[in-house]
Amino acid sequence: MGRPLVGERAGTSRRRVGIMAVPVIAGIGTAHPPSADQGELWDGFFARHFSGTTRALAQRIFANSGVNRRQAAVNPLLEDVSDWPTERRMRRYQVEALPLGKEAVGRALTAAGLAAGDVGLFVVCSCTGYATPGLDILLARDLGMAPGTQRVFVGHMGCYAALPGLGVASDFVTARGRPALLLCAELTSLHIQPSTARVDTQQIVSHALFSDAAVAAVVVPGGPGYAVREVASVTDTSTADHMTWDVTDAGFRMGLSPKVPQVLSTQVRALVDGLLARHGTHRSEVDGWAVHPGGPRILNVVERELALPAAALAASRETLAEHGNCSSPTVLLALDRLRRAVDPARRVVMLAFGPGLTLYAALLEGPV
């Protein structure tokens, strides 16, 4: 996928490269657990989860998060998991993630007009739960995928995982000429941390933003949909400690430095402009921006550094308001919103960010 093509790198003849399939996103399916109002989450749970001076700070952060509603497979208004050990959280992950993933995959396959048995490669991204057999094996079994279906599990990449997952699926379609299926499923609600009197701004921000979702995308060789032209990335390893996701005895703990937007501001323009230049286009010719809404500051930095009009990130801001930050599925939710618009975008740039500190971008063209 991208330039040069795999066939060119391998020394394949020009005739062979010329007939390689164009990977196209032919169907997207979404699934969400029950929703809760952000104010209700604050009043009913988090207001008493934080204490002393921490409570006033937390209330301000919740109010300014850009989130109106969030979805939770394990709703803290009904069930407090903050003192659960990691083992118990992982058992619950399997219970909740399997039906959510099945729903998203079923909708994506239906939208693409395919059956589970048609899938040649199944890519699953998730950083919020682990077990073996994992979602890739159990869903392949339950949905009736062929025994020869290949599988890739992408774990612990965090919020940007959808784009390398899309890259793997697209490369498979290009090289093999067979459909691939991507699923991103996250249950961040399982990782509420224990209450503490100590001021921990990073944990407050995480508790104010994160949400649950599953999104699946079917990638096929040609046909109607968004053609995946290239997936690109850049990682600044000098800032590796700015975003972390640690496995602890009390679930997974987010580390989120306030310097993250600053790092993005130094990298995002060159990444996007380089991607577009390789395809003979410019930011002014992009009419759809699906940017991972890591939080309001992230979106503000992207808007400023790319000199985008105020309306350009509407899909991302609306996604944040209605669904919160769902980690890896979120950028696909923004893409789905662009795709379902009355006048769908013709040229889309997807952007997502996460540990590394890593930035990923993808260029889509269509709907074709």
H-helix segments, 216-354: 260-277, 296-305, 314-323, 330-339
Residues 151, 138 contacting (CB under 8 angstroms): no
- As a whole number of angstroms, the distance between CA 287 and CA 346 comes to 6
How many CB atoms lie under 10 A from the CB of residue 68?
A: 15
Element (H, E) at 322: helix 314-323
- As a whole number of angstroms, the distance between CA 364 and CA 213 comes to 23
> CA distances (Å), 187 to each of 125, 155, 173, 235, 241, in order?
12, 13, 29, 26, 23
> CA distances (Å), 72 to each of 85, 102, 252, 363, in order?
19, 17, 16, 31
**Residue in this structure with the two tokens 């339950």, named with its chain if needed:** 142
Lookup: tokens for 41: 């989450």
Q: Which of 111, 101, 180 is nearest to 143 (CA)?
A: 101
Torsion sign over Cα 39, 44, 48, 50: negative
Residues 123, 181 contacting (CB under 8 angstroms): yes
Q: Which of 202, 16, 29, 50 is nearest to 112 (CA)?
A: 29
Lookup: tokens for 268: 């995002």
Residues 71, 330 contacting (CB under 8 angstroms): no
Q: Which of 164, 171, 152 is nearest to 22 (CA)?
A: 171
Which residues have CB under 8 Å from 111's CB, separation 6+?
26, 27, 28, 29, 218
Catalytic residues: 159
- As a whole number of angstroms, the distance between CA 30 and CA 328 comes to 13
Q: Which of 37, 49, 51, 58 is nearest to 83 (CA)?
A: 49
